[in-house]
Amino acid sequence: MSAIQSKEKIRNGKTHAYYGRRSVGFRSCSGSEMTRDESVTLQRLYAFSPGDFEAYSARGEEFRRRLCGAVLHALPLSDSWLTDCECREEWGGVFPVHLRLTHRKNRHVTLDILSPGNESPFWHGLIWINPDHTGLYVLNTERFEPETIGRVLTRIEKMVSAGITPAEIVAVLGRKGGCV
């Protein structure tokens, strides 16, 4: 329990339901403090600013996992994708939401979905050319667009099904853009 929560408990005679930080530099999420039991809805994801994503994920692993889960739930994913999310900064900890989608038929085809935050104000889709070394951004949007991400994933699925190699998939997406 934080010092603020302890003061609230003493002041009100009961435990306060807020589990986030209230210090300078952290903004509240979408203008209201979220409680431990509150879910991250699609409408909240649309309304989050880069600072909101940072503030929410800074609350800890459970909140970051909840945020990643909300994004995954909003995406139109087929069974072709294996999903993973970063919760303990295992992939660098740069973005509040960092999802890794790997194609089941070709494990060399991996796309990361990255949320806005301190590093960038945009949503990104990063396809790996050489895993853990080099990637190509094939998606950049100002707001969360699950349909656009879904179109990129569907396009990749069609290329994998057609037998196109991972290197060729990256070349096609890089040449024509992820959404064309």
Report whether 125 contacts 145 (CB < 8 A): no
* Interval 158-180 mean pLDDT: 84
Domain with 48, as residue range(s), is 3-176
Integer CA distances (angstroms), 25 to 46, 54, 112, in order: 22, 10, 28
Report whether 46 contacts 86 (CB < 8 A): no
Q: What is the pLDDT of residue 97?
A: 95
Q: What is the pLDDT of residue 92?
A: 77
Say how many Å lie between the first and final Cα of the chain, rounded.
49
How many domains would you assign to the chain? Answer: 1
Q: What is the pLDDT of residue 90?
A: 77
> In 3D, which of 164, 103, 173 has the Cα closest to residue 135?
173
Tell me the three-class secondary structure of 131-174, residue by residue: CCCEEEEEEEECCCCHHHHHHHHHHHHHHHHCCCCHHHHHHHHH
How far apart are alpha carbons 3 and 6 in whole angstroms?
A: 5
Predicted confidence (pLDDT) at residue 34 exceeds the cutoff of 80: no
How confident is the model over 94-138, as pLDDT tens digits?
A: 999 999 999 999 999 999 999 999 999 999 999 998 766 788 999
Higher-pLDDT residue of 39 and 154 is 154
- The pTM assigned to this predicted structure is 0.76
Higher-pLDDT residue of 132 and 35 is 132
Tell me the CATH number at 57. 3.40.50.11880
Lowest mean pLDDT among 92-96, 112-116, 145-149, 155-159: 92-96
How far apart are alpha carbons 155 and 178 in whole angstroms?
A: 8
H or E stretch at 81: strand 81-85
Please list the helix, strand and coil fractions of the chain in percent, rounded to the nearest 5, in that order: 40, 20, 45
